A and B are shown apart, each in its own frame.
Chain A
């Protein structure tokens, strides 16, 4: 039996693709939409946290190599990704870290997460790094599966923790 060309089962359905999708740096006016997406997904509103993230990673970012991008469709923010280049953390050469990515639940399965990740990876490449990392809870199956579908595999670091008593 000859090998057949596989159907693109992991690609977003063409009909669901948003042709007007734009990925761009966050603006102050986007913050409410970002907070709303995070609140919807996590069930917990963290307004002060997001303001602090905006200060560190937004328009006037104080963090070198910071990236805070949003996905806009039909004039609405439908997703975001945040990351930065970290130098020699854990003894590793400079690499890109993605520490937040999310897409509004009603806008999922349209390739928005993929576009966001591609965009931040392109920024990392322009910054001269050739590795991207992330870390998330093992029970966060949805986002873990997303990163896996994008080609991410287990890295050479093992996260460790312990409870501090007393």
Chain B
């Protein structure tokens, strides 16, 4: 399963916010960290603010801060704001018995993906991320060392 860029940006940003919930972090700071367009990130953060997941703080030292409960906010809560999770059935769903059979299988996969995303809270993801930081070797091939660049 691949997540769309907006979902990834939202999750990366939320990990930053949740790791230090009292700190205000600017969109520019996160954009620089993940080497993405601040303009693009601002749209993602605005959506998270509309959902009440982060709060916009104005003025000097402003930015955004975490406003949700990391032990209750699930990955599905976040991702579903940016993409339609679990709609991977074929466009030809229902046309032929073969389409319907294939659709049954794809729906099963979608349901498992949804159940997984719904069972992992931001706090759990943060803990997992910290564990990965302490044991970096396993996924070293997926990103250059020290880089937070988003996959394209």
Contact indicator A141/B70 (Cβ below 8 Å): no
How many interface contacts (CB-CB < 8 Å) are there between A and B? 55
Contact indicator A6/B115 (Cβ below 8 Å): no
Main secondary structure of the interface of A (DSSP, over half): loop
Classify chain A: how many residues form its interface, as a range. 10 to 19
Q: B119 an interface residue at 8 Å Cβ cutoff? A: yes
Q: B74 an interface residue at 8 Å Cβ cutoff? A: yes
CB-contact partner of A148 in B19, B21, B23, B120, under 8 A? B120
Report 27 cross-chain contacts, Cβ distance below 8 Å, ordered by A residue: A1-B29, A1-B33, A3-B133, A4-B19, A6-B18, A6-B19, A6-B20, A6-B126, A6-B130, A7-B19, A9-B21, A10-B71, A10-B126, A10-B127, A141-B74, A141-B118, A144-B118, A145-B119, A145-B124, A148-B120, A148-B124, A149-B71, A149-B121, A149-B123, A149-B124, A149-B127, A154-B116
Q: Which residues of B contact A (CB under 8 A)?
A: 18-21, 23, 29, 33, 70-71, 74, 111-112, 115-116, 118-124, 126-127, 130, 133
Q: Which residues of A contact B (CB under 8 A)?
A: 1, 3-4, 6-7, 9-10, 138-139, 141, 144-145, 147-149, 151, 154
